[in-house]
């Protein structure tokens, strides 16, 4: 190759190369391109690209090299516009020899580009093309590279070239295999597996071992990823189901409008964000924090209203409750559709929830992470309310033995209304979180209602821990089934599994024991 | 013996209803086909089809009433049996298209050619024969009900748990039929039907015949259900509804009775679905949606569960209301339907027919409250 082994002493000076371009000979042009490639001059890439685009023009008389950019003519070396371009400008001619010089030079130029991202892409490109000719440039680039990660990428690219280079020594190639292994992704595996059959056995073996090692690690990461995504899905299910665990699980009310209360929470978030956008844009990062209590209040109040007007007449008739609340869910959906329209509403993410987190070979979005944390906080908060507060004690007393609780002076109708309101309010809070990952539309709730019931029934009615375990299990199982069976079939399998599971354990995973259950 | 069994179900009300249905089944086709178009007595074809559709809904409601009203099984998945019957009929109708499809393939339906399938999947074989398809219309829903109900009732899954898993069942089927790989046309379902047992499905005569058949199905369903309800078997079913554990302790095999009535009901729903498809001209996975099944429940609730005639009245009333509302005030239909759910459960727990017959009973000043008149649903 023409360039690359040794950088010229006057690295930044390209005037000599430019003069060569005005000589109007293919050999001179190719040589000039080589000089430009190794010069490290910031304009070098622009000039070479201009030759390729046939916009680089020269005037032999005045030794001017210029780039024609639409109607403008700019100086090639400086990029300044030339006010009065010489009349004799004509394009630098290109033939096959020049073209190959250009493509080699572009590879080298991007390997040494001042932009780190471009250098990194160039290193990856060499890794994939395994262009033997780039070896010299790679060496030069490695010597010059200061960024550790990019030097590593360059080193791996170099190893890929050497590994596939038939005339490299066996020892070098074996060593190259172990360097390629460091890359540790599917591309590395396919490179290691695709060595030609005439490769010496030692190199083949080294490559196979490296490939196997990578695949093991990848499988492990795949498992970790499925588990994490599963937990993420599980926490969404938990959020959607946890309010239902109160209304259905603790009180025994089949609340088919549960999904719509989640939807009300999401729309509350939307309204809060709209108000903030128009009145106090600076507070946008706090919009979710403001929406949480409001969503709790909105959904909670709607819940209390539902309980006082409809459900309290239907205690002891769960099937009728189911029908009535289904009717309420239709009314709520249509009400929201009339107020806000049938289309999806845009709910933005505050800055602290956007972005992502790299964890080894995995990428987790920050939003999902927050939802996982949030689901746990809501769960623990609810546990605390039920187990440690006086109100929680009354709630449990009323659900366990209404007559006795009433005899002890607890106002059972009040407790009913408040418990139902609590469950609905929590559905509203879930809506705030789900507005971040789902479309906020009048149909938002319907997508969750069946899943939520599945979670509560699977986990065991009347048991919050069961809901936690049920949600996370179903989430993880779903994510592990997805790559094997596909998303839809995976979901069907989970549903069938739950149906069969209920046959075996009609009261769920963690059933309450005792005579009261059979009543 | 069978005639005796059927005749036992004929109390006065059922006879009146049967005669009414049969009269409509004859009269409407006559008014449509024989009476000239200009006459005020002419029934336009679109109305025949519309009421034919309602009649299939009425049959579905009747099927649901048999399990819910008389055995306390609130199935939120009866739409699945209806849709399965519909798909069986749809498959037959697809095979009848033959070379008249867009791609002109003599064997493969259009969507299979489109998906590059080379041969017919095994479960499509036989559906070119009407008799086989008709058998499947009854067998497939019946078999699903047998397996599903058999398992669930043997495990003593009752009350709301059963409701929820029936809902999960229809939801799972919804997802499954949406998949293109299943070989049922995926999202678009089955449509573009040409003819049924040699008659053009679009023709007035075929539509009138389908209408009459739908009415006859309702009548037959009513007769058969009334016979079941009035037999000893029916008494056991009501006993199960009102006190399941007690019935079991007396020595009846509750699970067997429940499975039996569930399967019969699913078969009736399947027949209803099979008559529905040629009249509306399409069957797609949307029919499996849980919302459809719950809507069928409200027909029964509005008409009056446990009355046999109620669900027919309810299905007609609610669907007529739906047609009227979606024509005049489409925005308000969901409000109206939602309110209907709430108000009926709160104020009309026995539905229209149940409330009216209570009024009559009271006016006749029989014993003040008939103890059997207010059955509590079994939980």
- Out of B167, B172, B338, whose CB is closest to A330? B338
Question: Pairing mode, if any, of strands B195-196 and A356-359?
Answer: unpaired
Residues B216-237 have pLDDT tens digits of 999 999 999 999 999 999 999 9
Phi, psi of A58 (to 5 degrees): -135, 160
Count how many Cα atoms sit within 13 Å of the Cα of residue B27 in the half-sphere of its side chain. 8
Contact A502 B165 (CB under 8 A): yes
Residues B105-128 have pLDDT tens digits of 888 888 888 888 888 899 999 899
* Chain B hits for A500, Cβ within 8 Å: 151
> Does the structure show a pLDDT above 80 at A11?
no
Which band of pLDDT confidence, cut at 50, 70 and 90, is reported for residue B366? low
* Chain B hits for A251, Cβ within 8 Å: none
* Chain B hits for A323, Cβ within 8 Å: 294, 297-298, 301, 341, 344-345
Q: Which residues fall within 8 angstroms of residue B291, CB to CB, at 6 or more apart?
A: A446
Contact B345 A327 (CB under 8 A): yes
Contact A338 B331 (CB under 8 A): yes
* Chain B hits for A329, Cβ within 8 Å: 338
* Chain A hits for B161, Cβ within 8 Å: 457, 502, 506
Residues A321-378 have pLDDT tens digits of 888 999 999 999 999 999 998 888 888 888 888 777 777 667 778 888 888 999 999 9
Query: What's the mean pLDDT in B310-333?
Result: 91
Count how many Cα atoms sit within 13 Å of the Cα of residue A90 in the half-sphere of its side chain. 8
CA distance A275 to chain B (A): 27
Query: What's the mean pLDDT in A478-506?
Result: 86
**How far, in Å, CA of A487 to CA of A504, rounded?**
26
Nearest to B72, CA basis, from B262, B263, B249: B262
Residue A81 or A444, more confident: A444
Say whether pTM exceeds 0.90: no
Nearest to B49, CA basis, from B344, B323, B256, B266: B323
Least confident of A108-112, B10-14, B243-247, B349-353: A108-112
> Does the structure show a pLDDT above 50 at B212?
yes
The residue with tokens 């890439």 is A45
The residue in chain B having the minimum alpha-carbon distance to the alpha carbon of residue A324 is: B342
Is residue B89 within 8 Å of residue B274, measured between CB atoms? yes
* Chain A hits for B168, Cβ within 8 Å: 450, 453-454, 495, 498-499
Contact A319 B168 (CB under 8 A): no
Contact B159 A318 (CB under 8 A): yes
What is the separation of C-alpha A478 from the centre of its chain, rounded to a whole number of angstroms?
18
CA distance B215 to chain A (A): 28
Query: What's the mean pLDDT in A204-219?
Result: 86
Going by the DSSP 8-state scheme, the letter that residue A431 receives in this structure is: H
Is residue B295 within 8 Å of residue B317, measured between CB atoms? no
- Out of B154, B245, B335, whose CB is closest to A334? B335
The residue in chain A having the minimum alpha-carbon distance to the alpha carbon of residue B147 is: A500
Which band of pLDDT confidence, cut at 50, 70 and 90, is reported for residue B367? low
* Chain A hits for B346, Cβ within 8 Å: 310, 313-314, 324
Contact B172 A324 (CB under 8 A): no
**How far, in Å, CA of B337 to CA of A309, rounded?**
18
- Out of A310, A328, A491, whose CB is closest to B175? A491
To test the contact with chain B by mutation, choose from A249, A319, A489, A502 the residue with the greatest count of B C-beta atoms within 10 A, namely: A319
> Does the structure show a pLDDT above 60 at A409?
yes
Contact A488 B167 (CB under 8 A): no
Is residue A13 within 8 Å of residue A77, measured between CB atoms? no
* Chain B hits for A341, Cβ within 8 Å: none
Is residue B132 within 8 Å of residue B126, measured between CB atoms? yes
Q: What is the pLDDT of residue A2?
A: 43
Residue A165 or B350, more confident: B350
Q: Which residues fall within 8 angstroms of residue B248, CB to CB, at 6 or more apart?
A: B254
Q: What is the pLDDT of residue B365?
A: 61
What is the separation of C-alpha A259 from the centre of its chain, rounded to a whole number of angstroms?
26
């Amino acid at each position: 190759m023409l360039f690359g082994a040794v950088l010229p002493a006057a690295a930044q000076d390209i005037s000599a190369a430019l003069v060569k371009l005005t000589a109007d000979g293919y050999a001179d042009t190719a040589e000039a391109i080589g000089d430009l490639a190794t010069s490290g001059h910031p304009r070098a890439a622009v000039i070479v690209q201009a030759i390729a685009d046939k916009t680089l023009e020269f005037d032999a008389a005045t030794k001017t090299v210029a780039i024609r950019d639409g109607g403008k003519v700019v100086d090639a070396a400086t990029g300044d516009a030339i006010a009065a371009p010489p009349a004799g400008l004509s394009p630098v001619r290109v033939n096959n020899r020049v073209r190959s010089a250009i493509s080699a030079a572009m590879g080298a130029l991007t390997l040494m580009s001042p932009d780190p991202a471009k250098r990194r892409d160039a290193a990856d490109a060499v890794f994939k093309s395994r262009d033997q000719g780039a070896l010299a440039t790679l060496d030069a680039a490695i010597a010059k590279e200061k960024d550790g990660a990019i030097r590593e990428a360059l080193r791996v690219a170099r190893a890929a070239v050497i590994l596939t280079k038939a005339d490299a020594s066996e020892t070098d190639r074996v060593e190259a295999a172990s360097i390629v292994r460091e890359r540790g992704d599917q591309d590395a595996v396919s490179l290691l597996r695709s060595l030609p059959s005439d490769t010496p056995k030692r190199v083949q073996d080294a490559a196979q071992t490296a490939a196997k090692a990578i695949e093991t690690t990848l499988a492990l990461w795949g498992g970790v990823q499925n588990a994490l995504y599963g937990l993420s899905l599980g926490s969404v299910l938990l959020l959607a189901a946890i309010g239902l665990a109160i209304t259905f699980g603790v009180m025994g009310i089949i609340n088919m409008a549960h999904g719509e209360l989640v939807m009300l929470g999401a729309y509350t978030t939307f309204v809060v964000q709209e108000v903030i956008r128009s009145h106090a844009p600076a507070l946008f990062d706090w919009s979710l924090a403001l929406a949480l209590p409001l969503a709790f209040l909105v959904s909670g109040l709607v819940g209390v209203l539902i309980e006082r007007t409809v459900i309290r007449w239907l205690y002891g008739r769960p099937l009728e409750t189911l029908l009535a609340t289904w009717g309420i869910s239709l009314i709520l959906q249509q009400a929201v559709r009339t107020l806000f329209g049938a289309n999806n509403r845009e709910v933005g993410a505050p800055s602290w929830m956007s972005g992502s987190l790299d964890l080894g070979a995995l990428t987790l979005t920050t939003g999902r992470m927050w939802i996982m944390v949030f689901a746990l906080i809501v769960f623990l908060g609810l546990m605390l309310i039920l187990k440690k507060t006086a109100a929680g004690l009354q709630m449990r007393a009323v659900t366990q033995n209404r007559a006795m609780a009433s005899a002890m002076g607890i106002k059972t109708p009040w407790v009913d209304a408040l418990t139902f309101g609590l469950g609905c309010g929590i559905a509203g809070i879930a809506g705030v979180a789900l507005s971040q990952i789902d479309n906020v539309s009048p149909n938002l709730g319907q997508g969750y209602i069946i899943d939520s019931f599945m979670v509560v029934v699977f986990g065991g009615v009347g048991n919050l821990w069961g809901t936690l375990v049920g949600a996370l299990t179903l989430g993880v199982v779903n994510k592990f089934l997805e790559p094997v069976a596909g998303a839809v079939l995976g979901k069907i399998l989970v549903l069938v599994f739950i149906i069969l599971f209920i046959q075996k354990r009609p009261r769920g995973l963690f059933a309450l024991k005792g005579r009261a259950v059979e009543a | 013996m069978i005639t005796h069994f059927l005749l036992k179900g004929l109390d006065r009300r059922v006879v009146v209803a049967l005669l009414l249905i049969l009269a409509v089944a004859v009269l409407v086709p006559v008014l449509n086909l024989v009476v000239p178009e200009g006459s005020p007595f002419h029934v336009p074809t679109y109305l025949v089809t519309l009421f034919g559709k309602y009649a299939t809904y009425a049959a579905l409601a009747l099927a649901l009433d048999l399990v819910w009203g008389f055995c306390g099984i609130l199935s939120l998945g009866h739409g699945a049996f209806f849709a399965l019957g519909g798909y069986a009929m749809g498959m037959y109708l697809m095979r009848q298209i033959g070379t008249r499809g867009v791609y002109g393939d003599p064997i493969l339906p259009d969507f299979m050619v489109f998906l590059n399938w080379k041969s017919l999947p095994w479960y499509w074989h036989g559906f070119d024969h009407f008799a086989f398809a008709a058998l499947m219309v009854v067998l497939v829903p019946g078999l699903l009900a047998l397996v599903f109900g058999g398992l669930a009732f043997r495990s003593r899954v009752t009350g709301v748990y059963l409701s929820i898993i029936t809902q999960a069942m229809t939801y799972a089927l919804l997802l499954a039929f949406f998949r293109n790989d299943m070989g049922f046309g995926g999202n678009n379902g089955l449509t573009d039907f040409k003819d049924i047992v040699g008659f053009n499905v679009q023709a007035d005569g075929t539509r009138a015949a389908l209408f009459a058949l739908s009415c006859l199905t309702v009548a037959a369903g009513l007769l058969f259900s009334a016979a079941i309800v009035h037999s000893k078997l029916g008494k056991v079913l009501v006993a199960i509804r009102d006190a399941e554990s007690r019935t079991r302790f007396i020595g009846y095999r509750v699970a067997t009775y429940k499975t039996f009535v569930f399967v019969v009901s699913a078969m009736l729903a399947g027949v209803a679905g099979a008559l529905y498809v040629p009249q509306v001209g399409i069957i797609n996975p949307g029919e499996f949606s849980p919302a459809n099944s719950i809507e069928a429940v409200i027909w029964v609730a509005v008409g009056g569960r446990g009355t046999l005639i109620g669900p027919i009245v309810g299905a007609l009333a609610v669907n007529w209301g739906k047609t009227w509302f979606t024509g005049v005030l489409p925005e308000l239909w969901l409000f109206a339907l939602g309110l209907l759910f709430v108000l009926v459960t709160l104020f009309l727990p026995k539905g229209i027919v149940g409330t009216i017959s209570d009024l009559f009973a009271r006016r006749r000043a029989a014993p003040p409250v008939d103890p059997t008149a207010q059955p509590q649903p079994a939980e």
